[in-house]
Chains A and B, each alone.
Chain A
Amino acid sequence: MSEETSWLLGRLDASALPFWDALQHPTTPNVVNAVIASGAGAMVLLGALAAVVFLTWTKRWRWLWREWLTSPDHKKIGIMFIMIALVMLARAVIEAVFMRLQQAVGLDGGFLTAEHFGQLFTTHGTIMVFFMAMPFLTGIINYVMPLQIGARDLSFPVMNSISLGLTAAGAAIVMVSLILAPFSTGGWSGYPSFTESATNPGAGVDYWIWAVTLSTLSSTLTGINFAVTIYKRRAPGMQWFRLPLFTWTALCTSILMIFGMPPLTVATALLALDRYLDFHFFTVDLGGNMMNYINLFWAFGHPEVYILILPAFGIFSEVFSTFSGKKLYGYGALVIATMAIAVLSFTVWLHHFFTMGQSAHVNAIFGIATMLIGIPTGVKIYDWMLTMFRGRIRFSVPMIYAVGFILLFVLGGLTGIILAVPSVDYQIHNTLFLVAHFHNMLIPGLLFGMLAGTNLWFPKAFGFRLEERWGRRAAIGWIVGFMLAFFPLYALGILGMPRRSAAFFEPAYLPWTMAAMVGAVVILFAMLFLLIQLWVSVRDRHANRVPGGDPWDGRSLEWSIASPPPAYNFPVIPEVHSRDAYMRQKETGGGAHPRPDAYGDIEMPASSAMGPIIGIAGFLMAFGLTWYQWWLVVAAGAVSLVALIARGFVRNATRVIPAAEVRREHEAWIATLDSLTPITRADEQTRANRGLPASPIEGAVQ
């Protein structure tokens, strides 16, 4: 970065290239780090190039624009969110392996510079929270929730597309920082005063601020969209206590997004004011107070934990119930527990900084509040176990993740109770014990949930099942890899090893860091198995098709329609009479797939370019702000403003699907159903599974 700025490029110059420093000062560590950083940048460039070549080669640009990027369809937007999540997951896992490798050889040094290591743990955390977990859960809720409540789309489909654009822009900013470096070294929480311009004048923190801000705006809009949809778009008869539990958790997560995201917007905006306009919110001089940042950040950060975990709880509830062939045990208790967790999540933020100078009384209150959250969570664990009790359990892939989750999550919860005791926290805060704890919550809690959800709903979205064998290998790989990688970190934390250490000088740490390294390699293999699973599934898709749409003998409305569902989801909006609406329909002999008496024209939202426009403009604004290219900021800002105003003048933003077409499609599907052979649950994992389960009336014992 140079002090002199040009009007065109701002602060951007050749020194932003990841190998520039090594060319100027070719010492061994510099060259090693430059090779790694440039390799990563080259992978981003090659990946982007490969995508462009592929799209041009197969002449798919128009298809991409028309069918996907401008589509307001919640199902397509959901799939695109999940694709962003998977790409970012791959990058962040590779970064994790590098960090484990560094600490495995990090006695008295290691091969990474402290600067490089700092960027690794910052991008790893930022990506995993904002660009893996958030898009993953947003994508799954996007896809599944409207289907579960019997709706045709979200309340605000174009705003949904804008949310996708903003998340994509944020993810792209993090990716670009590999080519035009550096990214922040301030950790995912970006505490000042380290991140202030006085101590950290480079572009890194600015990249972080704008990437996170884009993600936050996206999630706020998403939360509003989901909540309004659940309040206003439920099918007739879908009363509150008939909602599938996944939809309940989606609602609670949305409410947390609505109230929990603004504090982060404030925190990053004020930090930006400090850095760009010389304000003094968090500086060490002139009346600044960095504790304000820390309070604001965790007023977001703790609800965020539950934003991440609640949808996974919802997915596990569906998994336990479906694959045990039983209705969910303690539905009411689970709903109340979910709500209780959502409310309590706003009352515990201070436990993230017990050691930062509050009185013992304040710490005690927040410590107790923290432990209270263990109660509703415990209720949930028992409810899930009792759902399995005397059920006819099938160990399909989602169930393996779910059982792994229960065992590991309880362990992680117990270490959380340990950390919630302020006096103990004084000993182990800021050590790897904490790192082990939150990974123990988030990998089994969030990631296993998302992967279970992917395996559960993939056949709904694409019309064929994911391959079971590689799925099982991936699941077991994740479970074993997680244990190997993170249990040693508990020991290291108790031995006193600080988190975020690039190097250490205590030989006693070495066996544990080596063990953790092995775990990271196992996780890398689990990632590879996931890719193989996807590849094998796509290759064998014809053998694993489930045109019947109900491969797991499902209980909620999404299983009552074709796989993949038509654009309008339901040919006729269903009427709901009970919980587990579709299972009841199958049980009461009304027929799993009744022919409606009449069809109506269906009005659906028309495609809109707003999502891509706002996404691209958002990316350019963030990039311009990071590198002080003011003309770009003004231009991109003007484009967004004009686009938003122009959008208000658009009329006829809907397209109509005629009743005759709906009838034709639906009757074609019914005809397909008639040609299928129903299967019992025992054959669920075989190729006989065509998505049509035997009626429960005929075969109660399967």
Chain B
Amino acid sequence: MSSTTVKHPGLNLGHAHGEAHEASEELVFGFWVFMMSDLILFGLLFATYVTMLGGTAGGPGPSELFELKSAFIETTLLLVSSFTFGMASLALKYRTDRKVLVAWLIITLLLGLAFLAHELYDFHKMFSEGGVPSRSGFLSAFFALVPLHGLHVTGASIWLIALLGQIAVHGLDTPTKTGLMRLAILWHFLDVVWVGIFSLVYLGGTA
């Protein structure tokens, strides 16, 4: 197989990266497959949420609990973090020094953490207004879908910190590079899922 062929969907490192480019074929493809499996989880929770919209059991519903402004801020944070991870990927592919890469990664991490903090604050506010999962089927469905996304962002952030640690210890070797390639896919994936949550849950709920 010639080194110019695309090894997997998404950003390829290119043959300048030699071993890492070759190794990423199987690893990144495998991660795409895992993403497909993970997407089923979210798809089913979206479907469950839609079927349970009516199950408020006299408790607070979407229009009382959701704030579009807050959801918009979260969306912005996450979308910008996806952009900065894109910049990190470009730095990984085209730059030899790692300072720029690490800087973009740290900015991404901070944006991710800011998103999580804002989301937790939102949940806290919902709780104080009586929007707790034990109140109704609708709130149960909300608190399965949206926090699962938050849990994914938490996991991705831990992974990002671990990869920063790997860069510090091992430098930009093949496992670190392929790790970043896979984390990038997860990060953008979570962005896409959030767009779904923003449109369906928040826009749909407050419209």
Residue positions of A touching B, CB distance < 8 A: 155-156, 220, 223-225, 227-228, 231-233, 258-259, 261-263, 265-266, 269-270, 273-274, 277-281, 283, 285-289, 292, 296, 299, 641, 645, 648-649, 651
Contacts and interface: CB of A to CB of B under 8 A. Distances in A.
Nearest to B175: A651
Closest 10 A-B residue pairs measured CB to CB?
A: A287-B55, A287-B137, A262-B40, A278-B134, A279-B140, A287-B57, A228-B30, A286-B57, A287-B136, A280-B137
A287 B158 CA distance: 36
A266 B49 CA distance: 12
Contact of A287 (B30, B33, B56, B162): B56
Contacts of A287: 52, 54-57, 136-138, 140
Given A262-B40, A266-B45, A296-B44, A645 B30 contact: no
A228 B26 contact: yes
A644 to B, nearest CB: 9
Given A265-B41, A287-B52, A645-B162, A273 B30 contact: no
Contacts of B141: 281
Question: Taking chain B's interface residues, is the majority helix, strand, or loop, or is none over half, making it mixed?
Answer: helix
Interface string B5-46: 000000000000000000001100110011011101100110
Nearest to A291: B51
B37 A292 contact: no
B176 to A, nearest CB: 9
B66 interface: no
B52 A292 contact: yes
Contact of B137 (A224, A227, A281, A299): A281
B91 interface: no
A281 B36 contact: no
Contacts of B26: 155, 228, 232-233
B12 to A, nearest CB: 15
Contacts of A224: 30, 33-34, 37
Given A279-B140, A648-B166, 12 more contacts: A155-B30, A228-B33, A231-B29, A261-B37, A270-B48, A280-B137, A285-B57, A286-B137, A287-B55, A287-B138, A289-B51, A651-B170
A606 B137 CA distance: 49
Contacts of A258: 33, 36-37
A651 B36 contact: no
6 contacts: A155-B26, A155-B30, A228-B30, A278-B134, A641-B158, A645-B162
Contacts of A286: 55, 57, 59, 134-137
Contacts of A231: 29
A545 B173 CA distance: 47
Contacts of B179: 648
B193 interface: no
B134 A292 contact: no
Given A287-B56, A288-B55, A289-B51, A156 B30 contact: yes
Given A156-B30, A228-B30, A258-B36, A266 B41 contact: yes
Contacts of A280: 55, 57, 133-137, 139-140
A524 to B, nearest CB: 39
A232 B33 CA distance: 12
A492 to B, nearest CB: 37
B200 to A, nearest CB: 17
B144 A262 contact: no
Contacts of B30: 155-156, 224-225, 228
Given A228-B30, A232-B29, A289 B55 contact: yes
Contacts of A649: 162, 165-166, 169-170
A289 B47 CA distance: 13
Contacts of B55: 280, 286-289
Contacts of B59: 286
B143 interface: yes
A299 B55 CA distance: 22
B65 interface: no
B153 interface: no
B163 interface: yes
A266 B137 contact: no
Nearest to A265: B41
B41 A262 contact: yes
A156 B33 CA distance: 13
Q: Which of A220, A232, A259, A286 has the most CB of B within 10 A?
A: A286
